[in-house]
Amino acid sequence: MHIHKQGYSLYIGGKIGRKPILGNKIFAVIPEQEAISHIEIVLHVYNQLAYKNERIGDVINRIGLNSFLQEILQHVPEG
């Protein structure tokens, strides 16, 4: 998550270690009051799609970033 004056940017799928991977930005700027609900939506979608002990980045690699993002957007209220 990256902090802006107007809110937060939300990234998913990154990791650290011997082979670090940058996360994918899925929301450019989320208002502060909506940040937690967006994170909860990401975790809900992850829990629905992940195999046991599968990391979120591995889920994204398996189904594709666009498919994962489409699942997230189905749960984000319009507005």
Q: What is the pTM (predicted TM-score) of this model?
A: 0.85
Q: What's the confidence (pLDDT) of residue 7?
A: 86
Residue 76 — very low, low, confident or very high, per pLDDT cuts 50/70/90? confident
4 pLDDT tier (thresholds 50, 70, 90): low
Nearest C-alpha neighbor of 12 from the set 52, 78, 4, 30 = 30
Query: What local confidence, expressed as pLDDT, does residue 56 receive?
Result: 94
Domain boundaries, given as residue ranges, for the chain = 8-74
Taking each helix axis from N to C terminus, what angle separates 35-49 and 65-73, rounded to the nearest 10 degrees? Answer: 120
pLDDT of res. 2:
60
17-49 confidence digits (pLDDT tens): 898 989 999 998 898 889 999 999 999 999 999
> Among candidates 54, 71, 76, 69, which has minimal Cα distance to 12?
69
